Amino acid sequence: MLRIESLKKSFNGKFVLTDVNFTIKRGEILALVGPNGAGKTTTINCITGVFPKDGGKIYFEDEEFTEIHKEKIAVVPEDRVVFPKLNGKDYYKLWSTLYSSWNEKVFERFIAKYNFNLSQRIETYSIGMKTLFLVGLAVSSGAEILLLDEPTQHLDPTIRIEIMKIIRDYAETGKSVLVSSHEIFELEEYADNIAIIKEGRVIFTDSIDHAKETHKILSSGEELTDGTIIGLVKNELLVKTDIEIGRYPKLSEIVIGYLTGKQSSNIFE
């Protein structure tokens, strides 16, 4: 449903996105992972139009993405900045007016389930409740694509679980979700696909299940008879191969292997 091709973005002549490519189909959750400063938030900001892109294409269902598609997207930004004077009711009015696909029933159920006081100013909510409320607005919007920037950052385990469940349930209604996150163990539980971004370039993208099937971890001493060495994971090797050697990797090991590459991670060597 959302396709990004060769997306590029520069600030003051310096390119921070050089080649971002991925696709999110209907009903799928794509995890965008990468180190600090790799370009995750910039990618989201280019999709929403906060920043104009400097190259590449963004497609919504095979049409180039333009202003008219904007209401197809709902965003929960990383900074969770909210208008200081607005309360829950004001936010509800704003979002329900912005989205013609607004789903009143979903919002009502959400407010009742988590006991939100809509007359309270959002600024005074705890960070967890603020995030949960913004996620609630985003899923009530009925938007076809959710863009969530670090949705579980700084949250306690109970709210994390609630947010992961809401995201999964939303995708199961046929919507597409992009989650930027550093929480690889969580992503392994609820995301379908992964895109690894490094220095502004997507270096690997696949379904999580397929990535696990087609990579192996080899410990030192094990002989590699067929496959490609991707990178180091502590003292072991991440290898792309279909043959039955070593052991299957965890998602975190795939991410580390691609990000580390073949250079030694020991600064004392």
Ligand X SMILES: Nc1ncnc2c1ncn2[C@@H]1O[C@H](COP(=O)(O)OP(=O)(O)OP(=O)(O)O)[C@@H](O)[C@H]1O
Taking the least distance from each CB to ligand X, the nearer of 27 and 56 is: 56
Minimum separation from the CB atom of position 128 to ligand X (A): 19
The region of 39-47, 55-63, 106-114, 168-176 touching ligand X under the rule CB under 6 A is 39-47
Cα(43)–Cα(5) distance, rounded to whole angstroms?
11
36 binds ligand X (CB under 6 A): yes
Contact (Cβ atoms closer than 8 angstroms) between residue 181 and residue 151: yes
Minimum separation from the CB atom of position 112 to ligand X (A): 33
41 binds ligand X (CB under 6 A): yes
83 binds ligand X (CB under 6 A): no
Minimum separation from the CB atom of position 40 to ligand X (A): 4
Query: From the list 40, 72, 160, 175, which residue makes contact with ligand X (rule: CB under 6 A)?
Result: 40
Taking the least distance from each CB to ligand X, the nearer of 17 and 129 is: 17
The region of 30-38, 102-110, 201-209, 247-255 touching ligand X under the rule CB under 6 A is 30-38
> Could you count the other beta carbons within 10 Å of the beta carbon of residue 123?
13
Contact (Cβ atoms closer than 8 angstroms) between residue 151 and residue 167: yes
97 binds ligand X (CB under 6 A): no
Minimum separation from the CB atom of position 37 to ligand X (A): 4
152 binds ligand X (CB under 6 A): no
Cα(223)–Cα(69) distance, rounded to whole angstroms?
52
39 binds ligand X (CB under 6 A): yes
Taking the least distance from each CB to ligand X, the nearer of 143 and 195 is: 195
Q: Which regions of the chain does DSSP assign to beta strands (E)?
A: 2-11, 14-24, 29-33, 55-60, 63-64, 73-76, 145-149, 176-180, 193-198, 201-207, 215-218, 228-233, 236-240
Minimum separation from the CB atom of position 180 to ligand X (A): 6
225 binds ligand X (CB under 6 A): no
257 binds ligand X (CB under 6 A): no
Question: Cα angle vertex 69, ends 95, 152, to 5°?
Answer: 55
Contact (Cβ atoms closer than 8 angstroms) between residue 143 and residue 135: no
Gyration radius from the chain CA atoms: 20
Taking the least distance from each CB to ligand X, the nearer of 39 and 151 is: 39
> Could you count the other beta carbons within 10 Å of the beta carbon of residue 62?
7
> Could you count the other beta carbons within 10 Å of the beta carbon of residue 97?
9
Angle between helices 104-114 and 88-98 (to 10 degrees): 160
16 binds ligand X (CB under 6 A): yes
* Size (the chain), residues: 269
Taking the least distance from each CB to ligand X, the nearer of 40 and 216 is: 40
Residues engaged in binding ligand X (CB under 6 A): 11, 16, 34, 36-42
